[in-house]
Chains A and B, each alone.
Chain A
Amino acid sequence: DTAVSQTPKYLVTQMGNDKSIKCEQNLGHDTMYWYKQDSKKFLKIMFSYNNKELIINETVPNRFSPKSPDKAHLNLHINSLELGDSAVYFCASSQGQGQSNEKLFFGSGTQLSVL
């Protein structure tokens, strides 16, 4: 039973389209994240939600909009996709107390290719 699952695994789309990535965790964690991994494998945090409340919003274009319907789900909607959005997007979760030693559990990623 997958702890953090995200769909789809692969997403190929045209520039200008709108797409969504879904994430669910069954670990009972309070905090969920979206990370972006670029072609050089650099991992950068985009957003974080704690109990459905947005707590981290890094300098991400406002074309990216996260939504957390409940603490087990965090979706990412992207409007007007651009070539530069091509990357692997990872969902992650942690227990959520804000402690520095919290372990992050990552999903397997969504490979987004914008043509």
Chain B
Amino acid sequence: QQQVKQSPQSLIVQKGGISIINCAYENTAFDYFPWYQQFPGKGPALLIAIRPDVSEKKEGRFTISFNKSAKQFSLHIMDSQPGDSATYFCAASRNDYKLSFGAGTTVTVRA
């Protein structure tokens, strides 16, 4: 069963707009929450990550918001650019070599 639920499945945003992707998990043993970005024909690559003791992490135009009590976290892409068009995966892990991925969100940024 899927341990990390991700929504929406896809979204379209205008250039300069904000993209928001949401994820939720159940297993409180997870202690690391990365986001991976995948371009067509390529493998996923780590974009940004957060630990549950932090409520927000920002790297450039990408921000993770984390709500530990609700067991939810989200990725915000500010000032979205056409080059951000990709599939984004949230994930969760603990110390067991397994990374549980969400189902992915395909983001399309229209110029």
Contact = CB atoms under 8 A, between A and B. Distances in A.
Interface residues of B, number: 28
Nearest to A99: B95
Choose among A44, A92, A106 the residue with the greatest number of B CB atoms under 10 Å from its CB.
Answer: A106
Contacts of B36: 104
Interface residues of A, number: 27
Contact of B44 (A42, A101, A102, A106): A106
B109 to A, nearest CB: 18
Contacts of A41: 38, 87, 103-104, 106
Given A100-B31, A104-B99, A109-B42, A43 B89 contact: yes
Given A43-B101, A101-B49, A104-B46, 4 more contacts: A48-B98, A101-B32, A104-B44, A109-B42
